[in-house]
Structure 1
C-alpha cells in the first residue's frame, strides 16, 4: 500500500445557479494576460449542450484520455511514435472555431463620440486580429440557459442514443449547470503525453502542474486531456492550465473559484488514496471504474492507513485534515458524489453531487416530492456524465438526497422530532443531520478543510513546492518519453 494525499473538490450541482462568479474571478486572476484571452480555466456550462470547447466530450473526435489494449491502459491519442508523428500536425487538437474568437467592444467610441442624431454603439472587435467584427457568433457560454434551438443542443455527446423527441417541448425540457475546471487526475493523460516531461503531479498534495521552463509548446497535452482544460498561449508558446490556486492552498486557503462561489456549492478537503493500485484499476471494466476509483480512497481513521501514511512521508497536518474532510464524507461515507466521465480512465479528483429536478408534467396532488423517474433530468443522462452509464449509483444517491429532503420536511414543517429514515439506503439519523448541515448552507470551516503546506510547519522555503518558476519536477515522475 502506497499512501498519498490529494487535495480535491466536490461541487453540489443541486445548488449551482449559473452566475459565473467563479469563472470571472478565475479569469481576472489567472487568464487576463495576453495570449490567454480565449482561455477559461474555470467555466460553467449549461447541460445538455455541446460545452466549451465544442463537443469536448466527443473522444472519437478529440482522442483524449486512455483506452485499454492487451490489459494495459494506453493513450487514446497514441503511443510514443504516434505522438512524435503529430508534433507538427495534430488533427485531433481543438481549433479556434471550437473555442471562439475572443472579443471585446469598442467602448472608446462611446466615450469619445460627438453628439449625433442616433445613439452611438460599441462594436465588437477581435482580440486576436484587432479588427472590427461584423457580429459575435460564439462564446464560452453561448448556450447558457438553453439558449438557441434544441437542434444544436442535440449534438451533446451524452444525448447519443437517447430518445430526444419530447425534449423540445417545455414540459419535458431539462437543464442544469456544470462548472468545470482541471480535474487534477490520479492518472493524468496530459502528463504521460508531454514530450518535454513538463507536466507532473505534486506528491505532497496531488496538484497537476506544468513546469513553464520545460514546456516547449508541443500541445500534445491539449489533445490528450479528455476534459480539454489545457490551453495554449500563443504569446508565450507555452501550454497553461488551472493550478488549483496552489499558492492559496499552501497557506490553508481555498481556490478562488471556491472562495467566491455565491451558491456555496464547492467543498475542498484532503483524501488519502492507495497509489499502488492506480495502474491496475485504470484498466477495469468501464462500468466498474467508479467503484474501483472509490476503493482507492482510504479510511483516514484506520490506524494501519495512518501508520503507512506517516512512514511514507504524509504530513500530520494532512492526516488530521483528512479526518475532517467534507469531500471524503460525500465521496466515501455518503456516496453521493461522483467523478466526471470515469470512462476516460484518468481518475479525476473533482467530483460532483448530481442535481435533483422538478417534476416533469403536472404535480402529483398530495405528493411533495417527485418520484425518481418523474424528474425532468433523466437518470440515464446523469449516469453517462458521472458513472460511465451505470445508473445504480446515481439512483441510490438521488434517493438519499430525496430522503434527506423528506426527513427535514418532516422535522421542520410537520414537527416530527425523530423522523423515520429508510434503512435500505444505509444512512443513520446522524448522517442525515450531517448531510443537511453540509449540503444546505454550510459554514466556511465545514466546506473548506485545507492543511497548510508541510514547508510552513518546517519553516523551509515554499518555492521548493512550486512549479512553473523553473524548479525541477518530482523524482520518479514517469512520462510517455521516459524523461523528467
Structure 2
C-alpha cells in the first residue's frame, strides 16, 4: 500500500448560482497580465452548452486524455512518434478562436477625441495585436445562461437527445465551475517532452516549472479539460496552481474563499498510488467506482502507519480524518469526478444538481412525489446527461447521489415543519440520522473552518506561538492561546 495525500476540491452544483465571483477572484490574482488575458484558470460554464474553450469535451476532435489500448494506457493523441513529428505543430490544439480574441474598449477616445461633426465612439481593440476589431464574435462566457438555445446547447456532446431543447417544458440549465483537476494521472505531465510539468508529492498539486518549459504546448493538446494555457508573451505554459501560496499557510483557494454560494469544500484525501494504473484500466462505466475504491480510510490504523512511512505528517492525517472531501467523496459517495472516461483520474469532484422545486398548483404537480420535492425518475435534468458528465456513462452512481439529496431534503423539510420524519426514507437512500445531520450542516450552515480543512505546510504554521492569540514571532517558553 503506497499511501499518498491529495488536496481535493468538491463542488455542490445544486448551490452554484453562476455569479462568476470565483472566476473574477482568480483572474485578479493570477492572470491579470500581458499574455494571459484570455486565460481563465477558473471559469463557470452554463450546461448544456459548448463550454470554454469551445467544445472542449469532444475528444474525437481534440484527442486529449488517455485510452485503454488492449490493457495498456496510452495518450489518445500522442506517442513518441507523433510527438517527434509534431514537435513544431500541434494539429489538435485549440486555436485562439476556440477561446476568444481578448479585447479592450478604448473609452479614452470618448472624452479625448478632437472636436468634430461626429459623435466619438469607444473602439474595440485587440489585446493581442493592438489593432481595431470590427466585431466581437465570442467571449470568455459567450453562451452564459443560453441553455435551451439550439445554437449552443444542441452542440453539447453530453446531450444525447438534442430535441429536449425544443420542448419548453423540458428545458433545463445548470452551472459547471471548472479549474485544473490536479489529476492523479495527468496527461499534461505525461505529454511534456521537457518534463516541465510535475505533481507535488506533499499535496498532489500539478505545476509547471517555468524555468524548464520550452513552450512545446503538448500539454495543451493532451489535457482533455483544456486547462493548460499558452502565454504568447513569455512563451511558457501556465495553469491553475491551486493557490498553493495560500494553501501552504492553511488558507483556502481564492475561488473558494470568494464563493458567494459556498458551494466549494476543500480537504485532504489519502489514496493508494499503487492501484491507480489498474483502476484506470476498468471499463468506462466502472471508472467512478474504481476511483472511489482507491481512496483510503484515514481512521484506519494500518493506513495511518503506511502514511507515516511515506512521510505524511500527523497534522495532515488529522486533516484527512476531518476532511469534508472524504465525507462527500468516499464516506457518502455523493461527489463524482468530471468525465472519468478521460482516464486522468481528476481530483475535483461534483455533487450533481437536483431539479428546481415543483410548486403545487391545481393538478399540475404529478412529479412531486414527496410534497414539493421532485421524484428521482422525474428530474428535469436527464439522468443520462448527468451520467455522461459525471458518471462515465454509469447512471447508477448518479442515481445513488441524487437519491441521498432527495431523501435529505424530504427528511429535513419534515423536521423543520414539525412533521413526522420517516427514518425509512433515509435508510432507503443509504443514510441514517447521524449522517443526514452531518450532510445537512455541510450543505447549509457549515462555517469556513468546516468547509475548508487545509493543513499548513510551512514549519511556522505548526508552532504554537504563531497561532491566533500568541505573541507574534517571538519564541515563548510557555505558549498560550490557540486556534
Equivalent residue for 1:89? 89
Q: 1:344 to 1:416 in 2, by over 3 A?
A: same
Distance 1:296 1:106 in 2: 53
Q: What does residue 214 of structure 1 align with?
A: 212
Q: Does 1:432 align with 2:400?
A: no
2:237 alignment counterpart? 239
Which residues in structure 2 correspond to 1:1-16 (within 5 Å)? 1-16=1-16
- CA separation in 2, counterparts of 1:122 and 1:68? 53
Relative to structure 1, the CA distance from residue 269 to residue 407 in structure 2 (aligned partners, 3 Å threshold; closer, same or farther) is same
Q: Secondary structure at the match of 1:68?
A: strand
- Partner Cα distance (1:358, 1:245) in 2: 33
* Residue 210 of structure 1: how far off its partner (Å): 0.6
Q: Secondary structure at the match of 1:145?
A: coil
Q: Where does structure 2 lack aligned partners over 5 or more consecutive residues?
A: 464-483
Q: Which residue of 1 aligns with 2:333?
A: 335
For residues 148 and 407 of structure 1, the distance between their equivalents in structure 2, rounded to whole angstroms, comes to 33
1:124-154 alpha-carbon deviations (Å, 9 max, x no partner): 2111111121221101110001168313321
Give the length in aligned residue pairs. Answer: 457
Structure 2 counterpart of 1:250: 248
1:69-468 equivalent positions in 2, closer than 5 A: 69-113=69-113, 120-146=120-146, 149-159=149-159, 162-358=160-356, 362-364=364-366, 367-416=371-420, 420-453=424-457, 455-456=459-460
Shift of 1:215: 0.3
> Is the 1:5–1:271 Cα contact (8 Å) retained in structure 2?
yes
Give the secondary-structure state (helix, strand or coil) at the position aligned to 1:60. Answer: helix
Residue 119 to residue 265, structure 1, CA distance change in 2 (3 Å): farther
Any idea what the Cα deviations from partners look like across 1:190-216, whole Å, max 9, x if unmatched?
A: 101000011100001000001111100
Alignment correspondent of 2:48 = 48
Q: 1:410 to 1:128 in 2, by over 3 A?
A: same
Q: Deviations over 1:408-428 (max 9, x none)?
A: 110001344775543222211
Contact between 2:34 and 2:233, CA under 8 Å: does it hold in 1? Answer: yes
Q: d(CA) in 2 for partners of 1:114 and 1:266?
A: 51
CA distance in structure 2 between the partners assigned to 1:359 and 1:148 by the alignment: 19
Q: Distance in 2 between matches of 1:114 and 1:420?
A: 77
Instruction: Flag the structure with more relative contact order, 1 or 2, with Cα contacts below 8 A and sequence separation at least 6.
Output: 1
SS at match of 2:350: strand
Q: CA deviation at 1:84?
A: 1.5
Unaligned runs of 5+ in 1: 460-484
> Once the 2 structures are TM-superposed, how far is the Cα of residue 75 of structure 1 from its aligned partner?
0.5
- Normalising by structure 2, report the TM-score: 0.91
**CA RMSD across the alignment:** 1.9
User: Matched residue of 2:299: which SS?
Assistant: coil
Q: How far does residue 121 in structure 1 lie from its aligned partner after superposition? A: 3.9
Distance of aligned partners of 1:418 and 1:286 in 2 relative to their CA distance in 1, 3 Å threshold? closer
Shift in CA distance, 323/137, structure 1 to aligned 2, threshold 3 Å: same
Deviation at 1:166, TM superposition (A): 3.4
- SS of 2:265's partner is strand
